[in-house]
Amino acid sequence: MLDIIYQDDHLIAINKPHGLLVHRSPIASDAKEFALQMLRDQVGRHVYPAHRLDRKTGGALLFAFDKETEIAMQQQFMNGLVTKKYLAVLRGHAPDHQIIDYPLAKENGTLQDATTVFTTLKRAELPVPSGKHSTSRYSLVEATPTTGRMHQLRRHFAHIFHPIIGDRPHGCNKQNKLFKEKWGMTTMLLHASELSFTHPVTEHPIILRAGLRSEFKAVMNLMGW
């Protein structure tokens, strides 16, 4: 059963597990379960995705119960009217606060403006050797992308040399291998924690919050956060 975090006559939101596709995709033919079909079967109604989350990303995922509401919400996302907050665990000690303004290329090579703002919430240093270093350093950050580009957060954090733990292919292979072999963790540590927007029908302000998934919580405990 999917964890429903919000529901009214027009919208429904879930806390998506890491590793679950939003819907069928030819690039992930191995997948047998999809959030769209699971939620439809769970509530007994057709649902329409208002936006997307990467397969590897967990957290707040919004659907509409009708096409009109779906289109209205998609317009809000496209026009930057939805505030999105994410939590991520990064390699290294990240800056206290940073604006990453770095264009990202589409599949056809066209560059698109892309901006991410983040704040470092916690830092940790574990007594685990990493390369030439005798310890391993990590940061917990809250990130707000002000644009919505493909794999934006993953690519932006890799660009500033603080990749997200568990990210493939943008992350650090050594850290990903360490987490898998030492702690049995293969999840990408990126979580969509909050969505804020104006309800397209009632015009009321809506804030959706999704709690951390168990895999993310386990790493938080590991770090002493």
The pair phi, psi for residue 78, each rounded to 5°, is -65, -35
Confidence of residue 27 (pLDDT cuts 50, 70, 90): low
Catalytic residue among 3, 9, 41, 54: 54
Percent of the chain with pLDDT over 70: 96
> What mean pLDDT is predicted for residues 202-220?
97
Dist. CA 71–CA 198, nearest whole Å? 14
N-term to C-term CA, the chain: 29
Q: Which pLDDT value is given to residue 131?
A: 78
Contact 167, 159 (CB under 8 A): no
- Residue 145: count other Cβ atoms within 10 Å of its Cβ: 20
Q: Which pLDDT value is given to residue 173?
A: 94
Tell me, yes or no, if 54 is annotated catalytic.
Answer: yes
pTM: 0.94
What mean pLDDT value characterizes the chain?
94
3-state secondary structure of 37: helix
Confidence of residue 88 (pLDDT cuts 50, 70, 90): very high
Give yes or no for residue 71 having a pLDDT over 70: yes
Dist. CA 217–CA 215, nearest whole Å? 5
